[in-house]
Chain A
Amino acid sequence: MREKMERKKILKIVLMLLILTLLGLLPFHLSGYWVRLFIHIFMYAILAESTNMLMGFAGYVPFGNVVFFGMGAYITAILMGKGIPFFAGILIGAAICFLFTLAIGHPILKMKGHYFAIATMGVSEAMKQIVTNLDITGGGSGLSLVPLSLPSVRDVYLFFYFLMFLILAITVLVTYFISKGRLGYALRAIKANEEGAKSIGINTPFFKMIAWALSAFFTGLTGGVFAYWMTYIDSPGVFDIVIAVKFIIMILVGGAGTVFGPLLGAFFIEFISELVWSKFLIFHLTILGSIIVLVIIFMPKGFIWFYQKRFTLVALLENVREGKV
């Protein structure tokens, strides 16, 4: 029995190393189109993974988490416009997002479930409008950044590919440590039963804030990188609620509260998005929307759960029975 578990563990590690090597070699052998796609996928994976820290573990769904993406993007763009180097810019942007949640976290995290979700949406929509109207942010016409200059276009792609990949790896690692440590226990207890959690000594507001702040940090970081990559950002583009719902769906599809679930969700959704986009441009959203509807009806606990249930049809129908009125 022990041996079997050891073997499974080793297999998992080998598999992971293989995938890592594959992903490391990939950009050197694929066309620019595919590298761009992967950068996009990594980006969404980071967004999903970081929001999972609050949503998957503590059960609080921050629909408006995209606000940190936008804040990170704009702060980086503004700072770089003033001559501050890129890496400093994105870290400052991420730090400001972190502090922002600590500032507004207290009243907002006190709210129950969907009111919290709506409040975060409110923050996001409000921020979007404010940013559209300020001068420092370029108002409605957005902001441009000086593009990264490297010997070739391909080099630029490689830079962003590995940078996003690195950030993704760090986010996954942080999630892993959360899941194994005190923070993970606290959050899971909060998700399971917040009153019970309080009574056994868990300072619930504190842990919820930390989880949200961490998710804000990595989301903001990604926003900053995105801004530099795109070299142009505008308010509706980076504060778009569709981005937020997309990564929330990725979390659900992959498996909320797991370490690798959001990754899988991101890969799946973005791949389908891309494949569908190129073939059925005009029905892209219809297909995406329909997939969402089907996943919610048949597989709301996500892909990882489905894998644990050995991919049986019975499991899918079980979900329907559980949810039916």
Chain B
Amino acid sequence: MLVMQTIVNGLLIGGVYALVAVGFSLVWGVANIINLTHGVFVLLGAYISFWLFQLYHIDPFLSIPFSMAVLFITGFLIQKYLLNYVVRAGVFMTLILTFGLARVFENQMIVAWTGDWRTVTTSYAGSGFVIGGVSIPYIRVAVFILALIFCICLNIFLNRTKIGMAIRALTFNVEGARIVGIDIGRIYMITFAISAAMAGAAGSLISTIYSFSPFLGTPYLSWSFVIVVLGGLGSIYGAIVGGILLGLIESFSVLTFGPGYQVAIGFVILVIFLVVRPQGLFGKKFLT
């Protein structure tokens, strides 16, 4: 029974992890930018939901559009005024730049909201249903379903809309895209903005089930890394599978080794994948 519970837990949280990672994977696959601010974006989404809940009693699920909008604009501006100036200098430059930016954001979050742990606890938080001895909270199911819906919507957007296809064109051939007249800079801005918005949505969802503080940026970022490596770069299915896989790994490692080793295990698996199958389960061969 414990095993079933572990599986269900892992599965449900895995869905959210997938949403956390999907934007990270997108930006990396499209623009070859490893965005170290990504974890911070997730936190921002959480804090926005928290703020709206505390001040105006807005249900966290309803605050999602708002946090997505804020993050979309933030991401757009960051790409437009900062990242677009170093993109061609190589992936390490963007890495360091986003690292610096992440520190700035982190600092500001500490100033604004202090380092205390926060959660968003709604009136319906505790309730759930029980199937065969396994307890399944409503919120976790809702979060899981919403996370998957967002991923699927993103996938549809990328495959069926003009902008989406322009974005996908860039993952294959930047110069080719330039030749057919696609404005690379603008596409990068939109991609980064979408990535941030997804992270924000994930953050808002997470705020309902986990507590958070300004220092959680790095762990969420690390999880995004692992998921991208597991699932494969630039693939949304990969992010979903990778996220769920990671959720299960985390669940089971807590069950087997107790809390405290899940990061180590996650990273050992990451390194193994990098050695054995760097393109992940579904991704294309890494971009150099």
Determine direct contact between A and B, CB below 8 Å: yes
Query: Is B138 engaged at the interface, CB distance under 8 Å to the other chain?
Result: no
Q: Which residues in A have their C-beta under 8 angstroms from that of B57?
A: none
Query: Is A268 engaged at the interface, CB distance under 8 Å to the other chain?
Result: no
Q: Which residues in B have their C-beta under 8 angstroms from that of A320?
A: 85
| Interface pair A108/B103, CB less than 8 Å apart | no
| Interface pair B100/A291, CB less than 8 Å apart | yes
Q: Which residues in B have their C-beta under 8 angstroms from that of A133?
A: 260-261, 264
A323 CA / B288 CA spacing, docked (Å): 17
Report if A118-B225 is in contact (Cβ < 8 Å); known contacts: A108-B271, A241-B218, A323-B89: yes
Query: Is A146 engaged at the interface, CB distance under 8 Å to the other chain?
Result: no
Q: Which residues in B have their C-beta under 8 angstroms from that of A119?
A: 270-271, 274-275
**Residues 256-278 of chain B, each 1 if its beta carbon lies under 8 Å from chain A, else 0:** 00001101110110110011001
Report if A296-B274 is in contact (Cβ < 8 Å); known contacts: A114-B34, A248-B96, A285-B103: no
A282 CA / B108 CA spacing, docked (Å): 9
**Residues 31-59 of chain B, each 1 if its beta carbon lies under 8 Å from chain A, else 0:** 00010000000000000000000000000
| Interface pair A289/B184, CB less than 8 Å apart | no
| Interface pair A126/B96, CB less than 8 Å apart | no
Q: Which residues in B have their C-beta under 8 angstroms from that of A126?
A: 263-265, 267-268, 271
Q: Which residues in B have their C-beta under 8 angstroms from that of A129?
A: 260-261, 263-264, 267
Query: Is B74 engaged at the interface, CB distance under 8 Å to the other chain?
Result: no
Query: Is B188 engaged at the interface, CB distance under 8 Å to the other chain?
Result: yes
Q: Which residues in A have their C-beta under 8 angstroms from that of B218?
A: 241
Query: Is B86 engaged at the interface, CB distance under 8 Å to the other chain?
Result: yes
Report if A107-B288 is in contact (Cβ < 8 Å); known contacts: A291-B100, A296-B93, A323-B93: no
Q: Which residues in A have their C-beta under 8 angstroms from that of B260?
A: 129, 132-133
Interface of A is mostly: helix
| Interface pair A286/B108, CB less than 8 Å apart | yes
| Interface pair A288/B103, CB less than 8 Å apart | yes
Closest to B96 in A: A296
| Interface pair B96/A245, CB less than 8 Å apart | yes
Query: Is A233 engaged at the interface, CB distance under 8 Å to the other chain?
Result: no
Closest to B270 in A: A122
| Interface pair B278/A115, CB less than 8 Å apart | yes
A245 CA / B103 CA spacing, docked (Å): 11
* A129 CB → nearest B CB, Å: 4
| Interface pair A61/B104, CB less than 8 Å apart | no
A130 CA / B263 CA spacing, docked (Å): 9
A123 CA / B265 CA spacing, docked (Å): 10
Query: Is A202 engaged at the interface, CB distance under 8 Å to the other chain?
Result: no
A289 CA / B185 CA spacing, docked (Å): 24
Q: Which residues 143-162 of B have a CB within 8 angstroms of A?
A: none
| Interface pair A112/B107, CB less than 8 Å apart | no
**CB-defined A-B contacts under 8 Å, sample of 23:** A115-B274, A115-B278, A117-B92, A119-B271, A119-B275, A121-B267, A125-B263, A126-B263, A126-B271, A127-B264, A133-B264, A285-B104, A286-B104, A288-B103, A289-B100, A289-B104, A293-B100, A293-B101, A296-B100, A300-B86, A323-B88, A323-B93, A325-B87
Q: Assuming A122-B268, A126-B268, what are 12 further A-B pairs, CB within 8 angstroms?
A: A111-B274, A114-B95, A119-B270, A119-B275, A125-B222, A126-B267, A249-B99, A283-B107, A323-B89, A324-B88, A325-B87, A325-B188
A residues apposed to B, CB below 8 Å? 61, 107-108, 110-115, 117-119, 121-123, 125-130, 132-133, 241-242, 245, 248-249, 252, 282-286, 288-293, 296-297, 300, 319-320, 322-325
